[in-house]
Chain A
């Protein structure tokens, strides 16, 4: 599937079969941290470091590097909860 998802309301296009991580990086969105300043970013790419955790509406907190992008998905920093995505 190709399409668009939303990072804190901002449109992020993605290519077929891409993970959230790949699409976020391609869009230049490197800093996935919340308002707290705790660093969050794609780091290990294999689900191990948990630094890429994001909140996806309907899914909860997931690793961006493991989660396939789906058209219309709404996401934001891990700690802010569903209402801030």
Chain B
């Protein structure tokens, strides 16, 4: 039995849950997090103690407090590396990490890897989504958590899904209620989905709390309304909205968009159980189950990893939590289900490469996903298709997905400084990455 550590990537609830469970079983853990602090998307920590806290349910604060306390108690068994970006597994089965503080790329030889890198928000493209002032709702939310400050000026929140409600309420609580929340779906017309959600009272209570907050601030929650285009207007944005047969324009400073969460896009790496280094996914990066279930899913992945490594037996203790979360998320998805307006030809699809819907239309109608990517250049920029990949798939539903870009796992999964990477394995610059104690973590 080797004592090589298990690498856990991402110090959100899933990664923390996994790391704590592994440490409890006596397995050493290296926990890497790209940010300079733990927490993940849901528990993004205020930049300093002076920052006002953002509106959130007490159970989230409790859950985070428990995870943070667990981490402190685990002491040396969890080697936490913040400001360290996981780059992927290379052809020599090295787990590559990019230590941004020391500007070094290093390799770990872990016994196994648990990727808990979270979800990526879906954003359906419309003309102008690339403009400054348009952000994802989740992105605005994590910045709000970090600074305690809402974006200045009029804000419109639009798209689909429950996060719209949460973000709008948090903006209101932070002193800048949005001019409106536009939900593309029509949740009131999905009574069975609504009913199914009652099985999760904590989530329902959270939603009701946000709705009450919006009501108090007089923020309209408009259903069946979708953004069709955005234009800059001086420092402001003109947001064109279709609501049934009616059109209207909102003039705002910021447009926050969000069309749900997507699993799997964060690294593009899939699970492998039989390779030399087993790789498991955990949390929203594996399946969108929400913040509460993410901790349980991290534990579940840890138990499976222990079993794979012959260091313990898989426990099924968390299956019930995960099953309930799955049912709740399915109901949520049905609740807000509504197809986005189809984007006109001038719509930017791939921001990195500057490619539009019209560029896609020029490619062979029978092209496979591989050709759309390789020849069309969709998804070949720095974001590696995290946002446009899904848009392309939606616009070309018949493209053969089995002919994907590449059969081999790719790295880096994130852009990496050429100079840092060049230093990899350079005897002239070698340090021992395993015994690195003087972390400057906060």
Contact = CB atoms under 8 A, between A and B. Distances in A.
A31 B132 contact: yes
B142 A49 contact: no
B149 interface: yes
Interface string B132-175: 11111011111100110101100000000000000000000000
A19 interface: yes
A45 B48 contact: no
Contacts of B100: 62, 66-67
Contact of B352 (A15, A47, A50): A50
Contacts of A31: 132
Main secondary structure of the interface of A (DSSP, over half): loop
Interface band, chain A:
35 or more
Main secondary structure of the interface of B (DSSP, over half): loop
Interface string A11-49: 000011111011001101011110000111111111111
Contacts of B382: 50, 53
B359 interface: no
A16 B134 contact: no
Nearest to B151: A25
Given A47-B34, A68-B36, A61 B386 contact: no
B442 interface: yes
A42 B139 contact: yes
A46 B147 contact: no
B125 interface: no
Contacts of A46: 41, 118, 120, 138-139, 142
B56 interface: no
A69 to B, nearest CB: 9
A68 B36 CA distance: 7
Contacts of A30: 132-133
Nearest to B140: A45
B419 interface: yes
A32 B131 CA distance: 10
A42 B417 contact: no
Nearest to A62: B100
Interface of B: 34-37, 41, 46-48, 50-51, 83, 85, 100, 103, 118, 120-121, 130-136, 138-143, 146-147, 149, 151-152, 265-266, 348, 351-352, 354, 381-383, 386-387, 414-415, 417-419, 442
Given A26-B147, A38-B354, A42-B139, 15 more contacts: A15-B50, A22-B143, A22-B147, A25-B151, A39-B132, A41-B131, A42-B143, A43-B134, A45-B136, A46-B118, A46-B120, A48-B387, A50-B415, A51-B383, A65-B139
